[in-house]
Structure 1
């Protein structure tokens, strides 16, 4: 994948960075931890401007958040609540749970988007709850842009500083991403088991 990313940037320049970062948000297996350090290395060679690398990475990342945001927006809280009340029993999920989650996102969503855009493993997925909770698009874009700019700048500068060893960034970040995803899976499993037990207790009573 490293060669493909490098070849695309070599042939398309800044537009290649933008396109790759859009794809990274829609298809997370294409990691920004490879894209931006590689672009930073290109800037270190003098082939690109570091400022433009960060700008195009940020722009591509923000554009890439929009498909999932609009999917979440189209689905919406009301439809999700109705679905959960009708079909969510096997997931121990109710409309009330959805409303609680939506209320949480309404309260902390801006911070979740801002900091979540810098967290591997969940940065792409935050667009869905943002859309479902109907976070205003300008607000979503502003916080996404700030978080994406910080993330893109950190990765690009790391590639710039490491030079030919820019691929070490992905080696360091990838385990962190796996740990975060693992913790999310464990947390979801624990919540599922707890709700099953609670349902069993209510039924037994």
Structure 2
């Protein structure tokens, strides 16, 4: 996590927007989330916004738009390739999870797209499964947009406020450490003075 954060932090503002947006988009469009969840990128982007690398408002817009477009692309890809997309090696290893996701669509319909947005594996898979299940695109787009909006705002907010809290704590660490060291020094001097007093003024019996 720290390596990715440092790498993103070393980029210029516009490039950070592009990288975070691309990771969020690819997660849903091409199952990229099976390797690196777009959620991680969105949270890290919010973290960088605390330090002024990017605007948290524009970053949120980028994340939300990328999430909606990524889902829509995943939906379209499934129409083009059909069930062949489920024959990939990574998905064959997760047949049970894929079947549970398909059952979720059968039970919930298009609303499953909204729910899946907040579950890492399903977030990457659900748009394609919705397309394979012949969910009408208009209904898909509605729940896709609602999910992308709620998810994008919450992820960037988590990164931003967590980063702000860490920054406040970090700024106080020096003061706290100084107080602790001062306390230890005072205690050590008090012990030293007490022992010296005992040596020079031994108790009389």
TM-score of the superposed pair, with normalisation by structure 2: 0.59
- Aligned residue for 1:19? 22
Bigger mean CA offset, 34-43 vs 5-14: 5-14
Look up the match of 2:193: none
Q: Which residue of 1 aligns with 2:137?
A: 137
Contact kept, 8 Å, 1:24 with 1:32, in 2: the verdict is: yes
CA distance in 2 between partners of 1:150 and 1:118 (Å): 9
CA deviation digits over 1:118-167, x for unaligned, max 9? 1122111001221012222232222112112211211211111111759x
Tell me, yes or no, if structure 1 residue 122 matches structure 2 residue 128: no
- Tell me what 1:154 maps to: 154
Structure 2: 5+ residue stretches without partners: 85-94, 168-205
Give the Cα separation in 2 of the matches to 1:57 and 1:11.
Answer: 13
Residue 197 of structure 2 corresponds to none
Residue pair 2:43, 2:155 contacting (<8 A) in 1 also: yes
Offset of 1:5 from its aligned partner? 4.3
Rounded to whole Å, the distance in 2 between the matches of 1:9 and 1:106 is: 44
Match of 1:57 in 2: 63
State the Cα distance separating 1:106 from its structure 2 match.
6.0
Describe the superposition over 1:65-109 as per-residue Cα deviations: whole angstroms up to 9, x where unpaired. 2343123223559x9xxxxxxxxxxx9xxxxxx9xx68x736622
**Counterparts of 1:33 and 1:75 in 2: how far apart (Å)?**
26
Q: 2:48 aligns with which of 38, 42, 49?
A: 42
- Taking the aligned partners of 1:135 and 1:147, their CA distance within structure 2 comes to 16
Separation in 1, partners of 2:119, 2:17: 24
TM-score (norm. length: structure 1): 0.59
Partners of 1:118 and 1:150 within 8 A in 2? no
